[in-house]
Amino acid sequence: MRRLVRPLAALSLALVSAGAAQAQSLSIKVDQATRLSLPGVARDVVVGNPAVADVTVLDGRNLVLIGKGPGVTNLLVVDARGRTLLDREVVVGGGDQGRVAYIRGGSLQTFACSPRCERIGGDDAAAAAPQAAPNSGGVSQGSGPQ
């Protein structure tokens, strides 16, 4: 029995450590990229929701994670033996820095400001309704120049 205790304890510790390392989330902004290094050579790379994130394989041990749209998904990387090299939650946040939303009545106009403000598409009058404060006239959101 004693012979089993030590290897089982070591295995338990290794599994807990691996689980803790994999439990961390990867956070990235929309339209941004980050490089990921793997502990082994990847065979399969799977993104749970390709509308949220995408991956480019640089080589067997290096990936580039790209934020495509706001949301939460996961990234799973497996080696040739079927072992999990990476299993992480991926959180993609909105890339709103430098954007200004101008709401007037039921109208929403969005501008990208860096350094000049230019109107960008995707405006939705229905989206303006919950954001508009009573008697606000115009509301500025984001961190662009005003």
Condensed to tens digits (0 to 9), the pLDDT of residues 69-108 reads 888 999 999 999 999 999 999 998 876 666 788 888 888 8
Task: Over range 6-21, report the average pLDDT.
Answer: 49
Class for domain 23-93, per CATH? mainly beta
* pTM as predicted: 0.54
% the chain with pLDDT above 70: 62
Q: Output DSSP code: residue 72.
A: E
49, burial (CB in 10 Å: exposed 0-12, middle 13-18, buried 19+): middle
Q: What pLDDT does residue 17 have?
A: 44
What are the tens digits of pLDDT across the range 43-78?
999 999 999 999 999 999 999 999 998 889 999 999
Residue limits of CATH 2.60.40.1080 in the chain: 23-93
